[in-house]
Structure 1
Amino acid sequence: MNFETLALPAVFVVYIAAVLLLISSDWRLSIAVLALQYAGIVILVGLSWPLEKAVVKMLAGWMAGAVLGLALISLPGGGRTEDRLQLSSVLFRLLGAALVGFVAFYWGPTIIAWMPKVALEQAYGGMVLIALGLFHLGLTSQPLRVCLGLLTVLGGFEILYAAVESSALVTGLLASVSLGLALVGAYLLTVPTQEEAQ
């Protein structure tokens, strides 16, 4: 399948998804946006890989979202783990996301000089996800938010690494890392309730 025509819209999809993950306080919306982000990742990875291998990324991301969602549903209180963000916090995160996005788009062409096999859209998408994921990690210590930030960083890395290596073993390894992150996040979400039960 030819993904060249969808590559630039996919960059905007992953950017908007990463920003929504940054400002969302509803875990249901966050899981849905994570699924949308992985759909954009598949398009960008599909520039270098065949469709069959690229879909593995989406399936691993969707399974990671399902694991996190099931862990949150099992919590008492319907999975409410965090409070709503204040307006000043949302504005700060949006301003930070705009600045981080600008820096990522600025450094995108530099990545092409270092990694010639990477397409410009892949460089933009990968850098945006890595930068916004790191920004997300710097703003939170909640297990769900940390897991979402790590999955975002890993998604950006997968986009850039797909142009360099197309091995089936690496595909499986990165998928298992995504699932492992989700399992660790699910464990960290459910540990406080298990301690209270004892």
Structure 2
Amino acid sequence: MGEILQYIPGNGLFHRLHPATKILFIIVVSIATILSSSIPLLVAYLLLILLLALAGHLLKPVLQQMLLVGLMSIVLYLVTILTVPRGTVIGSLVPGFIPFIGGSIPVTVEALIVGTVLTLRFAILITAFQLFVISTQPRDLVHTMERARIPADYTLMFIIALRFIPTLQIEGKRIHEAQLARGYHPGEG
């Protein structure tokens, strides 16, 4: 798997779009996603973004990087289920036959719906931003932000953050490989 949030050279549909158009796309997708609570509509938004990635020859890198998004989405879903206790109870997270704590964490229909909506929103926003970043050269993004009269400090912070994430990932891989070379095996006592 390649580095996350790293520009990938290409000549697909999304690569050829002007960075301002991509920024507008991100804004429209963000607003539409936040305003929608319809699960079928949110699924359609996610499929639309994946179709754009396919049209831009970026589907494989987007899906490779979706593993982390998937894990974070599962955690978000579980936390939402645990924190929305009101509604029609359909079961409990802890079976009722367990003494003292059995049946103490109810799972409700409303919690499942809210969890699904929040998880889809999260996946849509992250995937759209990821598609934007991997298809836009940082220098083009800087020029577009300067033309939009965004203060240089904000532009610099944004670009440094984008450039720093892949560097952190590469350093983490190097440390992991060095530990393995020295005989360290994670998970073993």
The two structures have a TM-score, normalised by structure 1, of 0.29
What TM-score, normalized to structure 2?
0.30
Q: Which has the higher contact order (CA 8 A, sep 6+)?
A: 2
Give the helix-richer structure, 1 or 2: 1
| Higher CA-based Rg | 2
